[in-house]
Amino acid sequence: MNVTIGRATIDALLDMAAAVPDREQCGLLFGASDRIDRAQPADNVADRPGDTFEIDPRALFAALRAERAGGERLIGHYHSHPNGSAEPSPRDLASAEPGRLWLILGGGVARLWVMENDRFRELQLVVTD
């Protein structure tokens, strides 16, 4: 399955990850099953932000409330891997929610994943102008 994302959005996310290489950056993704329309940064409130992330619950709950009220659809989230790998970690696997998109940034690239049947499947991320 192909999922599109705009060049400006993906470039901004990769720049953000590169600007703070010692801390996992994270945020929310909005759009539809076949496209990412917008990425919204969120604070990483994890105890060990150098190797894990936890999206600020206030940002997550606000997005869910807005969606229920007819706002943008929350389709997943993004986070960076300071170790440079854009592949899901064992910690990612343990906390993944089935059906949600996982955009992982690492080593200057972005890869898109979805959790299905207790494992990650990579999706084709198509960058548009």
pLDDT in tens, 96-105: 888 899 999 9
Residue with more model confidence, 29 or 84: 29
Catalytically active residues are 24
Global pTM reads 0.94
Domain boundaries, given as residue ranges, for the chain = 2-128
Q: Which residues make Cβ contacts (< 8 Å) with residue 81, sequence separation at least 6? A: 24, 87, 89, 104, 105, 106
Superfamily for the 2-128 domain: Cytidine Deaminase, domain 2 (3.40.140.10)
pLDDT digits (tens, 9 = 90+) for 59-92: 999 999 999 999 999 999 999 998 789 999 998 9
Alpha-carbon gap, residue 24 to 102, rounded angstroms: 14
